[in-house]
Structure 1
Amino acid sequence: MKTKSDSKEKSYSCKKCGSSFSRKQYLAIHMRTHTGEKTYPCKICSSSFAWKKHMLKHMLTHTVEKPYSCEVCGHSFLGKCSLEIHMRTHTGEKPYSCEICGSSFTQKNTMLIHMRKHTGEKPYACEICDFSFTRKHDLVTHTRRHTGDKPYSCEVCGRSFLRKRSLVIHMRTHTGEKPYSCRLCGSSFAQNQSLSVHMRTHTGEKPYSCDVCDSSFTQKNTMLIHMRKHTGEKPYVCEVCGFSFARKHDLVNHMRTHTGEKPFSCEVCGSSFTLKTTMLIHMQKHTGEKPYACEVCDFSFRRKHNLVLHMRTHTGEKPFSCEVCGSSFTLKNTMLKHMQKHTGEKPYSCEVCGRSFTHKHNMVCHMQTHTGEKPYSCEVCGRSFTHKNNMVCHMQTHTGEKPYSCEVCGHSFLRKRNLVIHMRTHTGERPYSCELCGSSFTQNPHLLAHMRTHTGEKPYSCEVCGSSFTQKNTMLIHMRKHTGEKPYACEVCGFSFTRKHNLVNHMRTHTVKDLCMI
């Protein structure tokens, strides 16, 4: 049955949201929802309202008068209308139905808000960031993100919240209340939503699917975070260094690298860690636990991730490929570092001399050339080194150990890298090519030095006379002219030379007889 108000023609329409009204007066009042105008102030607490009836209802909150009581549960209400709506929670009456999907509601306003899901209408727009919302309440809550206003505070720990409901849920962390219980396993939860998600572990339901790769998830939020892998979106930005993250949790963990905070401590040795997972993995050093075992070679690992990477040594899997040259890699990080050879990117710069590096580790090591720091010392001769790896290799000069041998000629080397470079003398491989003239080289440093013949760059300068050189080694040899240093001495006649090459040529001037007398 149509009411009197329904039968009247609604000839006054809002130009902003399209709502229609039967009287011009109603339209004028409605416009206040867009302009924010509130012409009816409360004389007691200075709250303002767009509607007079809302102000009068608010006044009752000061008198604490709630004249309308529920006969079933005794709940009291300020208005008769509120009591009628409340009674539907007892009767189960839902008189308002959605014409599109058939959903039913106890209140007409709730049904109208629901209809916006179908129409896509979002009449409440944020004036700061242009975000739009279907409900005014959501706009009010959203605006607090810009203003920083958190009106709901916990009386126990002082933490503040944007929403009252968030405070109610938070209080359960203090009271321990978990009112929502699983009927199957008895697990309890502080939120009904958490229970709903938990139930999917029993049913196996994963209602949220990725449109790109068809992966399924139990929670919508997990699916949205997953989508960022495809979109590349990283909405959480570090204000200190500008690093971005897909998850807020990752940003929180990252911030500890700036603050130095390490909230997780080892109970055995007292070591502190930024992440709980890192602390738990560290604990396995004390317990000796390595729960992840390789089924092929019985190697064990503390982390599952390390086992996954190790398995690729058996399968030969190299899932990460370079888009430029097609080279494949077992680790994504190794592939990204390789890509920098093509892009020429050197994101890590020295603050002292401005030199750039592709890897952060190389930049940190380079900084020691300015500070003079050499933290690694040889226990035999006391010589110090900037890199631990160099010290380890140096130790082998005392032991005579050369663990890397060439299978072709039997030549042995201190370092694996030197063996790799040496092998190219047998294979003829020259993987580093000049893009300008096509010359090829066995080592990348040789290519870099060669490129300077094209660019004319001479980055190494003599501090005494200002002469410039393309290679550091050439500059060091030149410096011997000023210092008089001649480190290469002939064992036959005692003659000294600045270069080893000159000594080799000089040795030819001595006869076999001279050499036998040494």
Structure 2
Amino acid sequence: MMNHKRKKSHRCLVCAKGFCHVGNLNRHMLTHTGEKPHLCNVCGKSFSTVGNFNAHMLTHTGEKPYRCNVCEKMFRQVGHLKRHALSHTGEKPHLCNVCGKSFSTVGNFNAHMLTHTGKKPFRCDVCEKMFRQVGHLKRHLLTHTGEKPHRCVVCEKQFSEVGDLKKHMLTHTGEKPHRCNVCNKSFGQKVGVKMHMRIHTDEKPHHCYVCEKRFRQVGHLKSHMITHTVDKLYPCNVCEQEFSRMGTIKIHMLTHSKENPRQY
């Protein structure tokens, strides 16, 4: 709170943003110069601030010094622990004054506010696609470079995003940590529970704009939309009959083989 009362006498000559401390101004200036003086001697990645550098070095050592006193989960950064702690308290202190939705972190709140303004301040230099969050832009850039920095230690399969690696690791462990609180069915991914719950609630958020039929999953809607088009994209190479869905032609092909789909 003292920072709010202090005079911001140190001003950036580029964007005119003011700071209470000259050190904060100096760190801010790196965002304009692009300078990253802190170099990791393990992987060669560089950082603009010593805090980000120190946090990065923990990824090489595997050290997680911050422990949650509720579930004992470990974290590399104290900020990550603080955000995690909100998952136990359920606290969401950041309230949107437009739609009333609340958020546990200021980052999620700021990202949400852009959905009301429509602003997408982050631009891809390759294809000029715009994004609301810098993290989304960084993930998108991997589609241009083909870089997959996250490697599975079991099968060495590589992924462009750490979230995809975490989901993949569950295929090796068989772990299903996400459980339905109605029927106790468990799932490897949180989104699996979300989709499953629609069976209990009968929620069908995806609707066809042609016939107004509703679906639980967007994939089911996309498959349905093909029925409204005249194109049948999948011809049978045996009898030349055509089908609008890949799944339908696969079942049809069994009629040409010895397998009988009715048996299954």
TM-score strictly above 0.5: yes
CA 1:306/1:202 → structure 2, altered by over 3 Å: closer, same or farther?
A: farther
Q: 2:197 aligns with which of 237, 240, 255?
A: 255
1:166 corresponds to which letter in structure 2? Answer: N
Q: 1:237 aligns with which of 169, 179, 185?
A: 179
Q: What is the TM-score when the length of structure 2 is the normalising length?
A: 0.81
Q: Does 1:304 align with 2:242?
A: no
How far apart are the structure 1 equivalents of 2:154 and 2:250?
25
Structure number with higher relative contact order (C-alpha < 8 Å, ≥ 6 residues apart): 2
Q: Does 1:281 align with 2:220?
A: no
1:152 corresponds to which letter in structure 2? Answer: H
How far did residue 280 of structure 1 move?
3.7
Once the two structures are superposed, the pairs formed by residues 473-488 of structure 1 within 5 Å of their partners are: none
How far apart are the structure 1 equivalents of 2:250 and 2:44?
50
Match of 1:173 in 2: 115
Match of 1:59 in 2: 2
Q: Aligned-residue CA RMSD in angstroms?
A: 3.3
Q: 2:102 aligns with which of 160, 176, 180?
A: 160
* C-alpha contact 2:206 2:221 (8 A) present in aligned 1: yes
The superposition leaves residues 379-415 of structure 1 with CA deviations (integer Å, 9 ceiling, x where unpaired) of: xxxxxxxxxxxxxxxxxxxxxxxxxxxxxxxxxxxxx
Match of 2:236 in 1: 294
Match of 2:93 in 1: 151
CA 1:162/1:288 → structure 2, altered by over 3 Å: closer, same or farther?
A: same
How far did residue 143 of structure 1 move?
0.4
1:243 corresponds to which letter in structure 2? Answer: K
The number of residue pairs the alignment matches comes to: 264
CA 1:313/1:181 → structure 2, altered by over 3 Å: closer, same or farther?
A: farther
Q: Does 1:192 align with 2:160?
A: no
Structure showing greater Rg: 1
How far apart are the structure 2 equivalents of 1:301 and 1:94?
56
CA 1:306/1:235 → structure 2, altered by over 3 Å: closer, same or farther?
A: farther
Q: Does 1:131 align with 2:87?
A: no
Q: What is the TM-score when the length of structure 1 is the normalising length?
A: 0.45
CA 1:97/1:173 → structure 2, altered by over 3 Å: closer, same or farther?
A: same
Q: Which runs of 5+ in 1 are unaligned?
A: 1-57, 318-328, 335-518
CA 1:178/1:93 → structure 2, altered by over 3 Å: closer, same or farther?
A: closer
CA 1:109/1:184 → structure 2, altered by over 3 Å: closer, same or farther?
A: closer
How far apart are the structure 2 equivalents of 1:196 and 1:112?
21
How far did residue 165 of structure 1 move?
1.7
SS at match of 1:127: coil
The superposition leaves residues 311-335 of structure 1 with CA deviations (integer Å, 9 ceiling, x where unpaired) of: 4555668xxxxxxxxxxx989x95x
CA 1:293/1:214 → structure 2, altered by over 3 Å: closer, same or farther?
A: farther
Match of 1:77 in 2: 19
How far apart are the structure 1 equivalents of 2:30 and 2:147?
32
How far apart are the structure 2 equivalents of 1:260 and 1:158?
25
Once the two structures are superposed, the pairs formed by residues 37-436 of structure 1 within 5 Å of their partners are: 58-61=1-4, 63=5, 65-90=7-32, 94-98=36-40, 100-212=42-154, 215-287=157-229, 290-311=232-253, 314=256, 334=264
CA 1:115/1:64 → structure 2, altered by over 3 Å: closer, same or farther?
A: same
The superposition leaves residues 196-232 of structure 1 with CA deviations (integer Å, 9 ceiling, x where unpaired) of: 3334444444444545555554433233323323322
State, as a whole percentage, how many aligned pairs show the same letter: 43
How far apart are the structure 2 equivalents of 1:207 and 1:256?
35
CA 1:249/1:103 → structure 2, altered by over 3 Å: closer, same or farther?
A: closer
How far did residue 258 of structure 1 move?
0.9
